[in-house]
């Protein structure tokens, strides 16, 4: 399989840079008139896949909303992955895993090895046990043409406590993460496979946000992030940004046409 960065670049060119989060939390199930149980989860998630996966370049299921129902919820997540990929969307599994050694490798095997029923095109990961702790995920991603998006500059209010802290070298933790990604993507063309999670609502940043890799920018849409924010924050690197939203689309369900049209509008706006 070709590298994730190559496939992502082609998908963005073909469909646009909008990423849809498939996040079936209890409040949305209620808004759709569904019970907060496995049957409601399945109806919700597969309806969203039907509506958006043929039109979005990337879909991003948040695994926690499926895991809370146990093994039957994970079985629904497996369907979301398989059906989304069959519809032509890349799947970015939002798991934010981070551990060391054999445990890190086990996470990599679960989400990046094609032998797994949860195998996705890319995952999110946490580097705060040290960037080297992600080596099993990075190596497995390379082996299977997958991608890893590493937390760098998130927009939650607690983030700066760690991300803006300074290392012994004087660089920020976020800047150090971006430097690691820059090295991993150094020789990639047209785009590296190792990305960063950088919020669409972070405001100004002194960090160099160009690292030849993709950016997942949550917070677009209902959380306040705009197309103008994407362009202002990322500048010349904006073409590699996946603007991500869930509620902006999901609140329109169960009307599949309305969700589909929301994806098309977002892609049109982001690529204008």
Tell me which residues are annotated as active site. Answer: 96
Question: What is the rounded distance in angstroms from the CA atom of residue 152 to the CA atom of residue 173?
Answer: 8
Contacts by 30-35, CB closer than 8 A, 24 or more apart: 31/251, 32/253, 32/254, 33/254
Of 260, 262, 267, 259, the C-alpha closest to 32 is 259
Contacts by 221-228, CB closer than 8 A, 24 or more apart: 221/245, 221/247, 221/248, 221/249, 221/266, 222/247, 222/248, 222/251, 223/155, 223/247, 225/155, 225/199, 225/200, 225/201, 226/200, 227/269, 227/270, 227/272
DSSP annotation of 133 reads: G
Of 3, 20, 10, 7, the C-alpha closest to 216 is 20
Q: Is 177 left (phi over 0), alpha (psi -120 to 50) or beta?
A: alpha
Q: 100, exposed or middle or buried, with CB in 10 Å at 0-12, 13-18, 19+? A: middle
- Tokens describing residue 113: 């090895």
Question: What is the rounded distance in angstroms from the CA atom of residue 271 to the CA atom of residue 93?
Answer: 24
DSSP annotation of 120 reads: -
């Amino acid at each position: 399989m070709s590298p994730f960065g190559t496939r992502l670049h082609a998908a963005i060119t073909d469909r646009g840079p909008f990423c849809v989060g498939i996040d079936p939390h209890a409040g949305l199930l209620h808004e759709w008139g569904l019970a907060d149980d496995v049957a409601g989860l399945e109806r919700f998630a597969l309806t969203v896949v039907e509506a958006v996966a043929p039109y979005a370049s990337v879909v991003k299921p948040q695994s926690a909303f499926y895991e809370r129902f146990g093994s039957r919820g994970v079985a629904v997540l497996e369907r979301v992955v398989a059906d989304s990929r069959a519809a032509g969307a890349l799947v970015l599994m939002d798991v934010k895993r981070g551990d060391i050694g054999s445990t890190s490798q086990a996470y990599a095997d679960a989400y990046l090895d094609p032998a797994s029923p949860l195998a996705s095109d890319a995952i999110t990961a946490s580097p705060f046990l040290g960037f080297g702790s992600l080596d099993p995920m990075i190596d497995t991603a390379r082996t299977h043409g997958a991608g890893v998006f590493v937390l760098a500059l998130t927009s939650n209010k607690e983030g700066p406590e760690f991300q803006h802290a300074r290392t012994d070298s004087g660089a920020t933790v976020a800047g150090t993460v971006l430097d690691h990604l820059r090295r991993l993507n150094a020789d990639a063309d047209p785009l590296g496979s190792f990305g960063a999670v950088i919020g669409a609502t972070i405001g100004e940043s002194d960090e160099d946000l160009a690292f030849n890799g993709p950016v997942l920018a949550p917070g677009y849409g209902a959380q306040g992030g705009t197309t103008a924010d994407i362009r202002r924050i990322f500048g010349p690197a904006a073409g590699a940004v996946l603007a991500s939203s869930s509620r902006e689309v999901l609140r329109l369900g169960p009307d599949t046409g309305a969700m589909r049209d929301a994806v098309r509008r977002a892609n049109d706006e982001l690529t204008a």
